Amino acid sequence: MDKHQRFALVAQLWNQNMPFNQLLGFEISRFDDERSEISFSWQDKLIGNPMQKILHGGVTASALDLAGGVVAAANIIANMDEVNPKTIQENISKLGTIDLRTDFLRPGRGEHFVASAHIIRSGSKVAVARMELHNELGDHIAFGTGTYMVG
């Protein structure tokens, strides 16, 4: 399996088996060690503030956390020596968010949203990712910084 076959395998697995992401309508639309992307559409159930009709801050934090986790997972997988479904499983089972900062820049309005992430610190034990959330008009809704346990 080359790197991109491994990524496709895990993306499919995660998209089909993560209940909370499915509840929110999150889809991993790019699973790559360079950059990850999570896509989702507006749904009324994601509303935090009913007066203003904007995304709940928790939806934003969830999307950013997932985007960072995906790019961190892709980096774990890209660096593995012996690759098969079992070893991939074992290696990404160590993944966990240590801490996450979310900066809410603009009200979460829009029809379609993309959260993206890239790695700013990579290591054998800990990785740090930066994340962004934009809507379909390119409005920059939120920034995030997450520290992940990767080994």
Q: Enumerate binding residues for its own copies (CB under 8 A).
A: 17-21, 23-24, 44-52, 56-59, 61-63, 65-66, 69, 89, 93, 96-106, 120-121, 125-126, 128, 130, 140, 143, 145, 147, 149, 151
- Token reading at 119: 């790695």
Residue closer to its own copies, measured from CB, 2 or 124: 124
**What is the smallest separation between the CB atom of 132 and its own copies, expressed in angstroms?**
10
CA–CA separation, 48 and 109 (whole Å) = 11
Phi-psi region of 22 (alpha: psi -120 to 50; beta: other; left: phi over 0): alpha
**What is the smallest separation between the CB atom of 1 and its own copies, expressed in angstroms?**
20
Residue closer to its own copies, measured from CB, 8 or 98: 98
Q: Is 111 helix (H, G, I), strand (E, B) or coil?
A: coil
**What is the smallest separation between the CB atom of 26 and its own copies, expressed in angstroms?**
9
Residue closer to its own copies, measured from CB, 2 or 34: 34
Residue closer to its own copies, measured from CB, 5 or 17: 17
**What is the smallest separation between the CB atom of 3 and its own copies, expressed in angstroms?**
23
118-122 long-range contacts, CB within 8 A, separation 24+? 118/34, 118/35, 118/36, 118/71, 119/33, 119/71, 119/72, 119/75, 122/75
